Amino acid sequence: MERTFIAIKPDGVQRKLIGEIIARFEKKGYKLVAMKYIVPKRELAAKHYEEHKGKGFYEGLLDFITSGPIVAMVWQGKGVIATARKMIGQTKPLESECGSIRGDFGIEVGRNIIHGSDSLDSAEREIGIWFSEEEIFDYESSL
Ligand code: CMP
């Protein structure tokens, strides 16, 4: 079953959007199979964002993402990678559709609330960076 990595960034936590964001994914029908609330170490954040190394915003991005707690999650379900990206919106909140998370709650690209994997390859890579197999629970629902 398809899985994606989603992180609520420090700004999303500080703005008390954790419940709102999790509710959107749950109501859509996706299954939360892993979650941790952590202040990421710089090394971990650097691994996650290695494709952006050398860009002007890279060091600031690492400073910010390691500045406070984030909610790292794995969501599972049919088409979850692409659908989560639609639910999240564009990288720049001002270019995001209203109705998306960034479109509804953000303005600044450096404070865009949430991260979601952009492809199957990056989902697999990012899940592997943040979680071990033992931390992922693909439970069956009896309800
Ligand atoms: P994310 O989806 O997590 O992937 C890379 C992140 O880099 C992006 O969201 C933004 O938070 C950040 N980012 C991209 N472009 C800029 C920019 N021009 N200035 C600051 N941060 C940026």
Helix segments in the chain, DSSP class H: 10-14, 18-28, 42-48, 58-65, 80-88, 101-105, 120-130
Residues 6+ apart with CB under 8 A from 138: 1, 31, 33, 76
Atom of ligand 1 nearest to the CA of 118: 2
Measured in Å, residue 14 CA sits from the centre of ligand 1 at 18
Candidates 4, 57, 119: which one to mutate for ligand 1, based on the most atoms within 8 Å of Cβ?
Answer: 57
pLDDT tens digits, one per residue of 118-134: 999 999 999 999 999 99
pLDDT tens digits, one per residue of 91-105: 999 999 999 999 999
pTM for this predicted structure: 0.97
| Other beta carbons less than 10 A from residue 16's beta carbon | 8
* 3-state DSSP assignment of residue 66: coil
pLDDT tens digits, one per residue of 32-41: 999 999 999 9
